[in-house]
Amino acid sequence: MSHVDGLAGELIIGGYELKELAGRVGLEEAAHLLWRGALPGPEELGALRRELVALRAVPEETLHVVRAAAAAPPIDALRMACATLSLDLADPDNISPSADLTAAKMLTARFPTLVAAHARIGEGREPIPPRPDLSRAANFLYMVHGKEPDPIAARALDTYWVTVIDHGMNASTFTSRVIASTRSDMVSAVTGAIGALKGPLHGGAPGPVLDMLTVIGSSDRAEGWVRNELAAGRRIMGFGHRVYKVRDPRADVLSAVVDEMGAAHLEDRKLFDLARAVEETILKVLEEVKPGRNLRTNVEFYTALVLQSLGLKPRSFVATFACGRIAGWCAHVIEQHAEDHLIRPQSEYVGPRDLHFAGPDSG
């Protein structure tokens, strides 16, 4: 699906370098690329968009779960609600390519509706039904805020979703593939993937990035703050990556999105200026305190800025990430089912051997 070259700082998605796609195709086109192996022609794109629009509304049973999870973190609510979506499939255990594609469209269409409904319910308001005349990103922002978004904001969100649609064998994608490899179904695989995405070492970093910027407050305080954190053995969120040893190319794409948004909104620009100054300081201090570890800015640093300026709450950042990654997870599940090969790593046992159980009465 995608190739990550951590030394060259290169990300190829479905054969295209990220910069060929981001800002130039929408999430539906990128999903088609991963699900069907090629970008769609105009008719295929129109048909896919119509299908996804028709699937946006969520069943009442699922909405009950979102309401019951009103106080839970949005990513937990999404995981719980996602699990119920198999109730809405005629044959949820069918893992044929066509059944998988049906499930993929349903999940990709509904994730934004679930996240937006939970955001509204969490604020004591009623969810807003999806609007068929708006793009996927514009409709999501409409369902969250109750008004049509600025086109720059909708485009920024779509670019973000395409940027994070797939990223090699990351933890959540691997999780989805392990589950699918047992011939378990698409909804189960994706539900597990959400659990893996949630952690702060994976998709849960952007919320803490924003907390960090808030605590730092002004660029002259950045250096002291970072040194303290590192001295206390804590990690700086939004920096470092298991694969990238150079700058994450997704950070570049989102940095350009941030520039576009900052040009349009003065309020955002103040935060962006602070973030850029803090980023520079953090990189300098990391290089000094953790030499040779090649800790660079990762996607989550700029994700935090983009999602914040869309008016989204930090607690919903990781669930918003899932709204883009869902299409990638589904693509992997389709591929894994087609391969039909069980993923079952062997572990190396390092515990004791040759112990003898003397019996329950041996004292």
Binding site for ligand ACO (CB under 6 A): 201-203, 205, 235-242, 290, 293, 295, 298-300
Q: How far is the CB of 174 from ligand ACO (least distance, A)?
A: 12
Q: Is the Cβ of residue 57 or residue 230 nearer to ligand ACO in the bound state?
A: 230
Cβ proximity to ligand ACO, 79 vs 105, nearer residue? 79
Instruction: Closer to ligand ACO by CB, 292 or 363: give it.
Output: 292
Enclosing H/E stretch for 253: helix 249-264
Angle CA(67)–CA(322)–CA(180) in degrees, nearest 5?
Answer: 100
Closest contact distance (angstroms) between CB of 181 and ligand ACO is: 22
Q: Which residue blocks in 123-150 are alpha helix, DSSP H?
A: 136-145
Cβ atoms within 10 A of the Cβ of 54, count?
11
Nearest distance in Å: CB 141, ligand ACO = 22
Could you tell me if 200 and 117 are in contact, meaning their C-beta atoms sit under 8 angstroms apart?
no
Length reported for the chain: 363
For helices 317-339 and 74-84, what crossing angle results, to 10°? 40
Question: Are the C-beta atoms of residues 183 and 71 closer than 8 Å to each other?
Answer: no
CA distance 306 to 87: 34
Q: Is the CB of residue 104 less than 8 Å from the CB of residue 337?
A: no
State which residue has the least CB distance to ligand ACO.
240
Give the DSSP H or E segment for 2: strand 2-5
* Token pair belonging to 83: 């699990």
The nearer residue to ligand ACO, 102 or 176, going by C-beta atoms, is 176
Residues with a known catalytic role: 241, 300
Query: Cβ 240 to ligand ACO, closest distance in Å?
Result: 2
What's the closest the beta carbon of residue 322 comes to ligand ACO, in angstroms?
Answer: 11
Which C-beta is closer to ligand ACO: that of 28 or that of 300?
300
Closer of 134 and 295 to ligand ACO (Cβ): 295
List C-alpha distances in Å: 76 to 7, 39, 114, 174, 323: 34, 32, 11, 19, 14
CA dist., res. 278 & res. 223, Å (int): 8
How far is the C-alpha of 191 from the C-alpha of 18, rounded, in Å?
Answer: 27
CB of 87: closest distance to ligand ACO in angstroms?
Answer: 30
Residues 108 and 102 sit within 8 Å (Cβ to Cβ): no
Nearest approach, Cβ of residue 202 and ligand ACO (Å)? 4
- Residues near 68 by beta carbon (within 8 Å), at least 6 away in sequence: 80
Question: Of the two residues 143 and 286, which places its CB atom closer to ligand ACO in the complex?
Answer: 286
Angle at 19 (CA atoms; ends 16, 25), nearest 5 degrees: 75
CA dist., res. 57 & res. 312, Å (int): 21
